[in-house]
Every structure is written in C-alpha cells, then in structure tokens.
Structure 1
Amino acid sequence: MSQTSSSTENLAAPSGTFSIGGDLPVVRLGYGTMQLPGEGVWGPPRDHDAAIAVLRRAVEIGVTFFDTADSYGPETAEALLKEALHPYADDVVVATKAGLTRQGPGIWTPVGNPAYLRQQCELSLRRLGLETIDLFQLHRIDPAVPLEDQVGELLALRDEGKIRHIGLSEVSVEQLEMAAAMAPIATVQNLFNLAKRDAEPLLEHCEAHGIGFIPWFPLATGELSATDGVLGEAAKEHDATPSQLALAWLLRRSPVMLPIPGTSSVEHLDSNTAAAAIELSDEEYDALTALGG
C-alpha cells in the first residue's frame, strides 16, 4: 500500500521550502495544472467538480506552489484555479506562463511578440483574479523574435507591478545566461526526471545561482519502474510507489528543485504529495541516480 493520507495533515511540508527570487517562499513540492483540461490539454476537464476538488485538496495538504499556463485548455486551467482557490490564501503562490499558442489538441506554437505577451499577461491577471502574478514564465523562446524583445517586455511588466518574478521554460544554459544579462530570472522550467536528465547542466547552473528549477513531467520512470529493478525494490522497501520514489529522488537531487506533479485525481494527489516524507538512504539515492546515468 502506497503512502497516502485522507486527513488534512500537511503532507507537503517535509519537502522543505525554497524562496523564488529570494523573497517568495514556497513549499518545494507543488502542483501542476496541465492535466486538468481535456485530452490533448484542450477544452474543459472531463469532470469539472473533480478538478475543483483536487485544487482545494492540494491547499488542504500544504501545497503552496501552483503552476499553470494560459495555453492549458487554453484558458481552462487558470479559470479553474480562480474558481477553486480565489481569494487565495496568503501563502499560495500562483505561477503562470505565456508564449505558446494553441491551434488544437496537442498542438503548441511559440509566439513571443511583445504585444502578445503583454496581452496574455493582462488576460491571465483577469482570469486568475490577481493584481500581480507571482511568477510569470516565458513558455517558450520564440526563435522568430529577438530574445531581448521577449525578455524586455517581461521586465517592463515587472517594473509596472503586473508580475513579481520572471521565469523561463525549456532553455539552454546559454539562453538563460543571455536572458539573465537583461533581467533577473527567478526560475526555469525544463523537462527533467529520473529517466530523462538532458537538463543536468542547466540544473547545476541554477544551483550555483540560486535559481529555482521546475522539472516538468517529473513522474516519468518508464522501464525503470520494473518491479524487479532498483526502483521497484526501493519502492517496496519504503511501502511506496515508483512515482513516489521518483519524486523523492528529485527532492533529494537539489535544494532548488521544485517538482510540480499534476493529476486530476484526489487519490493520486495525496499519493504524490506523500512522497515529500520519503527519506532515501545514501545507498538508495546513489542506486537510483545510477539508473539514469
């Protein structure tokens, strides 16, 4: 039986905290809203009431960091966040993104025109019911628009008080350094998990500079989760699931790591969040690390 809880105990707290931009504390194990809209991250949720219940349950069990985007739905996930959690508790931090447009289920097209980014920021403020967005992330760098124009617009929005901190998504170390030369970058969000670690150099750069690292698709374990393998054995040892061990490994991997597992199920939410309390031994951590090496 995996580690879960039906109580309102603070399941997320053992993951510790991280201060985004040095002044915005969040509990490290957060929640990502990408799975709330319909199939292909398109349209309304399959079960609206269940989506609302998951978001409210997340707050109950101590999650304070919620990651969303204007393109999830599009617009669906932001609207659900507002419906479920507004007015937001003082410790709740909402991060959203702009820069990917949608032409149908599973289709994502970068648009980094400054006027478009400003428009989407204004619309996100309205949909989320906020005066200032805590963390506004450039969802993708648009190769057709100069980087300084994209980052410059986010800096202008920050200076106007519409956003508090700037983040980037799916960037290289070189791109992060270029952006950081123009404006303070508080976080990056890249694909990273136990089985997929191409962004390791970026993570190390973030560690060295106090930049939050938000790994998307954090639960992917693929063939590593075989019951007779290292991950499966460790999961049995902790009376846990492979997904919980994958999250525990991420949390141990770096103090700047901010995993945001997403789900549309309260049961899975509780199970994911319970991973915060799993303490891997040095031997277990090293063995799991070697799996993806």
Structure 2
Amino acid sequence: MEQKNGSSFTGFILLGFSDRPQLELVLFVVLLILYIFTLLGNTTIVALSHLDPHLHTPMYFFLSNLSFLDLCYTTSIVPQLLVNLRGAHKSLSFGGCVVQLYISLGLGCTECFLLGVMAFDRYAAVCRPLHYTVIMHPRLCALLASASWFIGFANSLLQTVLTFLLPLCGRNRLDHFFCEIPALLKLACVDTTMIESEMFFVSAIILLIPVALIMLSYGQIVTTILRIRSTAGQRKAFGTCGSHLSVVTLFFGTAIYAYLQPSNNYSQDQGKFISLFYTIITPMINPLIYTLWNKDVKGAMRKVLWKDYDSRRLLRKTL
C-alpha cells in the first residue's frame, strides 16, 4: 500500500488464527455454539428482570444492565470473528475497526465500573439492610448506572482517538481477530513507548478504582457476615454476594492479566486466547452463575415458564 497515514486505509487484514487453518473450523463451531448460549443466557436475564415484579430491585436493575452490556460486548466482536473464520478474505474496513474498538472498549470499561457499583449495592444490602431502600433509591441507581456508561465510553473515546492518531505507514496486517489497542499499537511506525505508558496508566485507573471499591465493600460485608450468629443467616448473606464475587473474579482476573503487564511477557497467541476468554467465555458464564446461585432468578424463570405452559394449556382447552 502506498498510503502514509492510517486514515487513508481502505481496511485492515485481520490475521486472527489464519496461521492455524486446521483450528479455524473447530473454533467456528465452538464459538458459534458459545455465542448462541451467550445470547440466550443474557437475553433471559434481561427479560426476567423486566417481566417479574419481584426482580424490580436495585440488584436486578444492575444485573439487567450487566447482561445487556455483555450481550452488546460479545455482539460487537463475535459475528465479525465468525465471518472471518469461514471466509477467505479476512478484512475489516478502517471505519469498521474504529467503531469496533470504540464500542468494545467502551463496553469493557463500563463493565468495570458497573461491577464496582454492584459491590456497593451488595454492601448496602448486607451492612445497611434497614436503610437499604433509602440508600439505593431508584434515582441513585439510575445515576450510578448512567455514570458507569458515561465514564466507560468517555475513556473509550479518548483511547480510540489516541490510538488512531498514530501513523501506520501503510501497515494494515493486524495480528488479532478484532481491533484491540495492544495489537493496533504494534502497527505504528513510530515509537509508542509514551502512549503505551499513558494507556497503561489509564487502564490501571479504570481497573483498580473499581477493584478498590469492590475490596472495601467486601471487606465490610465479610466483617458484617461474621457478626451474624445464625449459620442460616451467614449462608444467605454469602449466597447473596457469591454470584457477584465469582463474576468479579473472572472479569478482573483476565482483564488485569491482559492489560496490566508488559506485552512482551506473553506471546501474541496467548493474547488472542486471553481475548477469546473475556470476549465470549466470561459473558456466557455470567448468566449461568447468576441463574445457578440465585434462588430469585431460578424462581422467576420457573414462574415465567409455568405461566407460559398454563397459557398454552388453557388455549388448547379453549380450542
């Protein structure tokens, strides 16, 4: 290519897993199945949170936001990946790459803050049960959720602009399966040490502030739970927080491993498989964790399914 600036590109070639053609068909089948389960699981959580009046609480308001976010996050990446796995021409337009990076990064940052907000909600529920409805009133819940989305996409806008301002000098072969900052920085034809340091600092803030809030919240939660004399009460309190803590561990564990260590500490192939984990495995597992661990969600699911079954049986009798 003759172009000297990335903005004049017609597109990027996504190398993805093209160096392992025998793996592409297996990945296509596995990822398609996982993507379908991700869609079904997260759509179910969102639908139940709106359909069942017993789930119209702050906890399920944030859970519904999280499931919708996971749904959008996976959809911003996986369909393009599936097309590339089965197509001979593995490309993405420059504009498509910009949009994909902005949306996926914005959703990922939003999830960081949303998980922190959910930890504060659990703190209020366990440590301040008598004042819970006063503390977590609907206006505050909406404000906290909106702030999470705003901060997430504001940070994404900044990092996306900084990334695509770098000159690429005609380089367009992206050694990844989607547009992600570490892979894009490797295409730059200038020294990226400064911008990598800046982005590392921003990523550390985005990840560590919610982690600090989560740790403080759960420190108070554990202290409160240990004061409960009833074993049944302790079990109930741990059950309330267990699902969220599992999701937090999965999400932040992979995100910190991917973003808060030097890129030369692991190979590009390792980076791709880590990305696969947090782009599709974690969003698929989240609804399963909440469904399996949460009696309210299981009860709402049975109620909706039983109601649907009764409606169909009544309709057959009428006919």
Is the structural similarity TM-score above 0.5?
no
With CA pairs under 8 Å and 6+ residues apart, which has the higher RCO, 1 or 2?
A: 2
Q: Going by fraction, where is helix more abundant, 1 or 2?
A: 2
TM-score, length basis structure 1? 0.26
Bigger radius of gyration, 1 or 2?
A: 2
Q: Going by fraction, where is strand more abundant, 1 or 2?
A: 1
